[in-house]
A = this chain, B = another copy of it.
Amino acid sequence: MLAIDRHEKIMQLLMKNKTISVKALCDILQVSEATIRRDLTLLENENKLERTHGGASISDSIKLNYEATFDQKELMASDEKRRIAARAFGLLKPHDSLVIDSGTTTLELARLIGESTMPLLVITNATTISTIISRNKQVEFYVLGGRVRLNTQSTVGTMAIDMLKRFNTNKAFVGVNGITVENGLTTPDLEEAEIKKTMLSVAEERIVLTDSTKFQKVARCQIAPLSMVDKIITDMQLSNQYYDQFLQHDVLIDRV
């Protein structure tokens, strides 16, 4: 492991736990205390953390600053997103037909499909998926037509929805921006919400891919109630409290 990776990891751990001991870092990173101490003094000089006796801590102001400058959240999530996508990929069987939503997690799923040679039928509204999924020559691939939302690069509107309704698929993989028991699945854009809802309605098995940060958040537009979801794949950061709460509503949650 490179020194820079170690520093990154230390910062990630601090972002989650606020404080961490030198001992713990030794165990996790498998290096000597001397190395950890050197790392911590170095990071302290860069104003990224504060040293304490026996470890280090991070203040809220530094934390915010760090998040802003390095967009740490996105990076941290990316590893989790890959794991979530990998689990989703594990659900696939040869000759499955899928609808794949736009979004970063689903994009990872598309990448895995592109790297595989599994024969599949894939339908998507994400134009960005096209390049990476077409590496897999076994895929029969459909893009939904319609107006392209410029910031998500995905097609929306009645054209896309009408076309989507002509399909029936085994599985739908949908991303969301918020998910609660009360409000179900939510997303900020109405048109996105509508096409996501249609995706769920044309599939036999409806799977939501989302990192744990989206739980207990509510975005402006509802996609669908929880009852329209068969399975949620998320990361290990999801607390048992939410996990149990969703289980009681018959939603299967897979934490990877």
Name A residues whose Cβ lies closer than 8 Å to a Cβ of B.
2-5, 8, 18-19, 21, 52-55, 57, 60, 70-71, 75, 127-128, 130-131, 134, 137, 139-148, 150, 153, 155, 159-160, 163
Set B54, B128, B145: member contacting A160, Cβ < 8 A? B145
CA of A57 to CA of B5 in the docked complex: distance in angstroms? 9
Closest to A122 in B: B148
Across the interface, do A159 and B145 meet the contact criterion of CB distance under 8 Å? yes
Determine how many copies of this chain the complex contains.
Answer: 2
Contact A4 B52 (CB under 8 A): yes
Q: Is the CB of A52 within 8 A of B143?
A: no
A35 to B54 alpha-carbon distance, docked (Å): 16
> Would B147 and A140 count as touching, CB distance under 8 A?
yes
> Which residues of chain B are near A128, meaning CB under 8 Å?
130-131
CB-CB < 8 A to A145: which residues of B?
Answer: 142-146, 155, 159-160, 163
Residues of B near A146 (CB, < 8 A) are: 142-143, 145
Nearest CB in chain B to that of A17: its residue: B5
The minimal Cβ–Cβ distance linking A50 to chain B, given in whole angstroms, is 9
Q: Given A3-B54, A52-B2, A159-B163, A141–B150 Cβ distance below 8 Å? A: yes
A139 surroundings in chain B (CB, below 8 A): 150
Query: Looking at A5, A139, A146, which has the most chain B CB atoms within 10 Å of its CB?
Result: A5
Chain B residues within an 8 Å CB radius of A55: 2, 4
Residue of B nearest to A22 (CB): B2
Note all chain B residues with C-beta closer than 8 A to A159.
142, 145, 163
